[in-house]
Amino acid sequence: MLQVVADAEPAPAKPPVDQPAEVPPDPNAGEREAQRERALQYVRERLPDPMACPMGHSTTWTVTEPVQLRPVAGGLFAPTGFPVFQLVCTTCGYTMFFNAVVAGILPSATESAGSGK
């Protein structure tokens, strides 16, 4: 089976000094974890097993929740972007991106509009 470390996420960066030390609880934490679980299921069903990292031959990966890649134009981030989840090599950090809508992790904009959400 593809070796995916369920609870190993990249080490969080230290917060900038202008941010408060305590962050309030995330009300969407449950949904984010559910999305991450769907991404993990997608990876286990679709990818070769084992799958070696092209950079270092490690076969251990971690999966993230969906995030948004946003284009930059004129030095500013675009208001919309591409929903992706990441598959990250736990040895070297090499990262692959998968479109979260194509993978069925998130609904498409059309599906979201139709459901009233």
Does 50 participate in binding Zn ion (rule CB under 5 A)?
Answer: no
End-to-end Cα distance, the chain: 36
Pick the binder of Zn ion from 4, 43, 53, 100 (CB under 5 A): 53
**For 67, how many CA atoms within 13 A lie in the half-sphere containing its CB?**
9
Interface map 54-93 toward Zn ion (x if CB under 5 A):
-xx-x------------------------------x-xx-
Residues 11 and 13: their CA atoms lie apart, in Å, by: 6
User: Does residue 94 belong to the site contacting Zn ion (CB under 5 A)?
Assistant: yes
**Minimum gap (Å) between residue 66 Cβ and Zn ion:** 22
Residues that bind Zn ion (CB under 5 A): 53, 55-56, 58, 89, 91-92, 94
